[in-house]
Amino acid sequence: MIGTITRQQVEDFLFQEAALLDEWRLDEWLALFDTSTTYEVPTTDRPNEDPHRSQYYVWDDYELLSARVKRLKSKHAHAENPHSRTRRLVTNVRLGERSDSSLEVRAAFLIYKIRDGNVDQFVGRYEHTLAANGAGLKFRKRRAVLELEVLRPGGRLSFIL
């Protein structure tokens, strides 16, 4: 199946994912992940470093990602209660290498996060690995790399990047 995936199918997947996040439908979002998945956000000063030997902003395995979702759904996740308004623009989608079971995807993102009178922008690129099975596409690795030098003026990645 992976061999026949088109860019349009990948775009549909990413746009649907963005909508789930913008609508805070986090259980449905988590269902887009493989249980062997990782969600990664490297630091702004070491975007290419290996997470096994480097501090990251986010380096979640499926278990920690599930805990993150559970937390964000709680009214005690103070940093996101009330939720930020977000709007994600996902564009410049390119398909990269394919293996028998996975596909590399590159895309650009611009996320507006609005809360407490502030509009914060997070701009960067996605470096995802997608897998395909009968149910459609899934994330095997979901990696968001920020182009920012510093998380400033918005200093928290309390939402999903």
Partner 1 sequence: MTQTTAAPRMNLVGRRSPYIFEDWDARIFRVNREVFRSDEIFARERRLWDRLWLYLGHETEVPKPGDFKIRTLAGRPLIFTRDSKGQVRAYLNACPHRGTILCRETEGNAKTYQCFYHAWTFANTGELVGIPDPGAYPPERGFAATMGLRGLPRVENHRGFVFVSFALDGPSLREHLGDAREYLDFMADHSERGLEVIPGTHLYSIRGNWKLAVENAMDGYHFSPTHVTFVEYLKTTGYATSDEGGRAITLENGHSVLVFSGHGGRVGMQWEPRFGEAERLRVEENVRELTRRVGQERAARVSSTSRILFIFPNLLLFDIEGLAARQLEPIRPDFTEVRAWELAPAGESAEARELRIRILGSFIGPGGLATPDDVEAYECVQRGVVATAGDPRPEVDWSDISRGMERESRGEPARNVDEAGIRGFWRHWDDLVTGTKA
Binding site for partner 1 (CB under 8 A): 41-46, 49, 51-59, 64, 67-68, 70-71, 74, 76-80, 116, 118, 149-158, 161
Q: Least Å distance between CB 48 and partner 1?
A: 10
* Shortest reach from residue 62's CB to partner 1, in Å: 13
DSSP sequence for 2-28: GGG--HHHHHHHHHHHHHHHHTT-HHH
In angstroms, give the least distance from the CB of 133 to partner 1: 28
> C-alpha 59: how far from its chain's center?
11
11: Cβ contacts below 8 Å, ≥ 6 apart: 90, 93
Q: Which is nearer to partner 1, 2 or 62 (CB)?
A: 62
- Give me the residue label for tokens 């996320």: 111
Cβ 125 vs Cβ 109: under 8 Å: yes
Which of 26, 24, 128 has its CA nearest to residue 86?
24
- Which residue lies nearer to partner 1 by CB, 68 or 128? 68
**Closest CB 3 distance from partner 1, rounded Å:** 34
Closer Cβ to partner 1, 63 or 100, answer by number? 63
Q: Which is nearer to partner 1, 84 or 129 (CB)?
A: 84
